[in-house]
C-alpha cells in the first residue's frame, strides 16, 4: 500500500532529526561519539532514583499509577516555582506547569500560538527539536545569527521591521545548543525591549543554565518580564536524567490556559511516577550539590576537548569557549561542507553533528559542526580529536 499520499502536508516535508538518526547508527558500532546531547551519564543518580522509585511504588503505588492532573504534580510545581523565584522568574500573572521534557513545552507553545504562516525568529544555529516543532505547524522560520555574545539584535529588529505576524523569538539564552554561547545581560534586556516595541513574544529556553563551570550566572530574560511577554522553559533532563522526561513551562496564565488544553490532548499529563521521583530526589538528596558536581565534570571534559583541538585541529578551525553546558561549536573556512566531512568521520569511527542540521534551511551547506564533550572518557576525547583533526586537515 502507498502511504505517502495519506500523510498530512504538515508532516510530509519534515526531516527526521539528523541527531536521532545518528544515534540509531551509533547504537550499531563502536564509534567515538561527540554527537551526544547530555551530561556524563555515569553521573545520573541511578541508585538513588532506584530506591526512590521502589519507595514510591511500595508506599504510594496507587497515587503514582493513576491519572494525574494535566498541570502536573503539585509538590513538583511548588519546587519549580521556588527554584524559579530564586532567579526572579515567575510573577503573579504567570503559571508553571510540568511538561514531558522541555521539548514538549516548546511544542505546546508552538501548537497553542502558531497559525499557519506565522513567523518565528530563531537563532542561527539553533536546536533542531524546536525548529522541527515550529516547522510542523507550518511556521515560517527567520534566522538571526548567534554572535559571540548571543543573537544578533540588529538582524532580529530588521526581521521584525519587515515581516508581519512574527509570533515569537525563540532563544536558548545560556550555553546555547549548539554553540555553547551565552546571551549577554545587556542583549537580554535589549531583546525584551525589541519584543515590546514590535509586540511579539519571547520563548526563552534554558535547559543548560545550571551547568555553569565558570563565571557568574546571567539573569534570565524572564526575570525582567513585567507583563508576561516571556515564556520560560526549563528541564530536569540535563541535571537529573533525560530519560525521565520531566521539564516545565512558566508563562502568562492567559497563554497557559490554552497550553494546558493542548497538553491534555497531547499526553494528558507527564508520567506521575517520574514527577514524584524528581520531587523525592530534590526533597531528600542534595540536588544543588549534584548539579555542582555535574557542572564541574562538564568543565573538565570541555577543557580536555579544547586541549585536543589545540593539539590536533588545523589552525583555520575556530572553536567557541563556553562557560558551561555541554557543547562546542566549530567553524571551518567558508565553502567547506561539514556534511561531507561527517560521512568521512563516521567511516573512521567519529561522530559529530553537522552544522546544517541546526539551521532553519537544512539543505544549505554549512562550514560548522557541533561537538559534545560529556559522554566519552578523557582518553577517548583525545583519541577522537586526534582522528578528527587528521580528517579536518584533509579539507583545509
Ligand X SMILES: Cc1ncc(COP(=O)(O)O)c(C=O)c1O
Residues forming the site for ligand X (CB under 6 A): 37, 101-103, 127, 129, 172, 177, 205, 207, 235, 237, 242, 247
CB nearer to ligand X: pick between 205 and 210: 205
Listed as own residue / partner, the contacts of 262-268 with beta carbons closer than 8 Å and 24 or more positions apart are 262/108, 262/111, 262/112, 263/70, 263/97, 263/99, 263/104, 263/108, 264/70, 266/104, 266/107, 266/108, 266/111, 267/100, 267/104, 268/67, 268/70
Q: Measured from the CB atom, is 133 or 331 closer to ligand X? A: 133
Shortest Å distance, C-beta 19 to ligand X? 8
For residue 390, the minimal CB distance to ligand X (Å) is 29
Q: Give the shortest CB-233-to-ligand X separation in angstroms.
A: 7
Provide the 10 A C-beta neighbour count for residue 346: 18
Residue 172 or 392: the one with the smaller Cβ distance to ligand X is 172
Secondary structure (3-state) at 389: helix
Of 157 and 355, the one with the shorter C-beta distance to ligand X is 355
Q: If DSSP codes are grouped into helix, strand and coil, which group holds residue 186?
A: helix
Compute the least distance from the CB of residue 290 to ligand X, in Å. Answer: 17
Q: Which residues neighbour 236 within 8 Å (Cβ) at sequence distance 6 or greater?
A: 244, 246, 247, 278
Q: Which is nearer to ligand X, 102 or 371 (CB)?
A: 102
Report the alpha-carbon distance of residue 126 to residue 203 in Å, rounded: 13
**Sheet containing 201-205: which strands, arranged edge to edge?**
94-99, 247-252, 230-235, 201-205, 166-172, 119-124, 140-147, 150-151
Give the C-alpha separation, 119 to 341, whole Å. Answer: 33
314-353-231 Cα angle (round to 5): 120
Nearer to ligand X, 119 or 129 (CB): 129
Q: Report the run of H or E that residue 215 belongs to, with start and end.
A: none
Find the shortest distance in angstroms from Cβ 237 to ligand X.
Answer: 3
Distance, in Å, from the CA atom of 224 to the CA atom of 210, rounded to the nearest integer, reads 19
Residue (60 or 266) nearer to ligand X, CB:
266
Closest distance of CB 2 from ligand X, Å:
34
The angle that helices 253-267 and 101-113 make with each other, rounded to 10 degrees, is: 110
Q: Which residues contact 337 (CB under 8 A, 6 or more apart)?
A: 365, 366, 367
* Dist CA 259 CA 71 (whole Å): 10
- In this complex, which beta carbon is closest to ligand X, that of residue 72 or of residue 313? 72
Contact 352, 34 (CB under 8 A): yes
At closest approach, how far in Å is the CB of 164 from ligand X? 27
CB of 330 to ligand X, least distance (A): 17
Q: What is the C-alpha to C-alpha distance for residues 272 and 65, in angstroms, rounded to an integer?
A: 7
Residue nearer to ligand X on the CB measure, 118 or 123: 123
CB of 8 to ligand X, least distance (A): 23
The x, y and z cell numbers of residue 184, run together, are 549577554
* For ligand X, the closer CB: 172 or 201: 172
CB of 367 to ligand X, least distance (A): 22
SS (H, E, C) 29-98: CCCEECCCCCCCHHHCCHHHHHHHHHHHHHHHHHHHHCCCCCCCCHHHHHHHHHHHHHCCCCCCCEEEEE
Which residue of this chain has its Cβ atom nearest to ligand X in the complex?
Answer: 101
Amino acid at each position: 500500500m502507498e502511504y505517502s499520499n495519506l500523510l498530512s502536508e504538515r508532516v510530509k516535508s519534515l526531516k527526521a532529526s539528523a541527531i536521532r538518526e545518528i544515534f540509531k547508527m551509533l547504537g550499531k558500532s563502536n564509534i567515538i561519539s561527540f554527537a551526544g546531547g547530555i551530561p556524563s551519564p555515569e553521573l545520573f543518580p541511578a541508585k538513588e532514583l532506584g530506591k526512590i522509585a521502589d519507595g514510591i511504588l511500595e508506599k504510594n503505588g496507587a497515587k503514582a499509577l493513576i491519572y494525574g492532573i494535566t498541570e502536573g504534580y503539585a509538590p513538583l510545581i511548588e519546587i519549580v516555582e521556588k527554584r524559579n523565584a530564586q532567579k526572579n522568574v515567575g510573577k503573579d500573572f504567570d503559571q508553571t506547569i510540568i511538561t514531558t521534557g522541555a521539548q514538549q513545552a516548546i511544542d505546546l507553545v508552538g501548537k497553542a500560538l502558531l497559525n499557519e504562516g506565522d513567523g518565528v525568529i530563531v537563532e542561527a544555529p539553533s536546536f533542531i527539536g524546536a525548529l522541527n516543532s515550529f516547522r510542523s505547524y507550518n511556521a515560517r522560520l527567520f534566522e538571526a545569527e548567534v554572535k559571540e555574545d548571543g543573537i544578533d539584535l540588529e538582524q532580529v529588529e530588521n526581521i521584525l521591521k519587515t515581516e508581519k505576524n512574527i509570533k515569537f523569538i525563540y532563544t536558548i539564552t545560556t550555553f546555547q545548543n549548539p554553540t555553547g554561547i551565552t546571551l549577554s545581560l545587556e542583549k537580554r534586556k535589549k531583546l525584551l525591549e525589541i519584543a515590546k516595541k514590535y509586540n511579539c513574544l519571547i520563548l526563552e529556553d534554558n535547559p543548560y543554565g545550571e551547568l555553569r563551570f565558570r563565571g557568574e550566572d546571567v539573569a534570565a530574560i524572564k526575570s525582567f518580564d513585567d507583563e508576561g511577554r516571556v515564556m520560560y522553559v526549563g528541564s530536569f533532563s540535563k541535571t537529573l536524567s533525560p530519560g525521565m522526561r520531566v521539564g516545565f513551562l512558566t508563562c502568562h496564565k492567559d497563554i497557559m490556559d490554552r497550553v494546558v488544553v493542548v497538553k491534555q490532548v497531547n499526553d494528558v499529563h507527564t508520567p506521575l511516577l517520574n514527577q514524584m521521583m524528581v520531587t523525592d530526589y530534590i526533597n531528600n538528596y542534595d540536588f544543588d550539590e549534584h548539579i555542582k558536581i555535574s557542572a564541574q565534570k562538564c568543565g573538565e571534559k570541555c577543557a580536555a576537548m579544547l586541549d585536543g583541538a589545540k593539539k590536533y585541529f588545523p589552525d583555520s578551525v575556530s572553536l567557541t569557549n563556553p562557560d558551561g553546558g555541554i557543547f562546542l561549536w566549530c567553524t571551518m573556512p567558508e565553502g567547506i561542507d561539514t556534511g561531507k566531512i561527517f560521512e568521512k568521520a563516521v567511516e573512521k569511527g567519529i561522530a559529530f553533528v553537522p552544522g546544517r542540521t541546526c539551521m532553519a534551511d537544512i539543505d544549505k551547506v554549512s562550514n560548522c559542526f557541533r561537538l559534545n564533550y560529556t559522554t566519552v572518557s578523557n582518553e577517548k576525547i583525545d583519541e577522537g580529536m586526534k582522528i578528527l583533526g587528521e580528517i579536518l586537515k584533509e579539507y583545509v
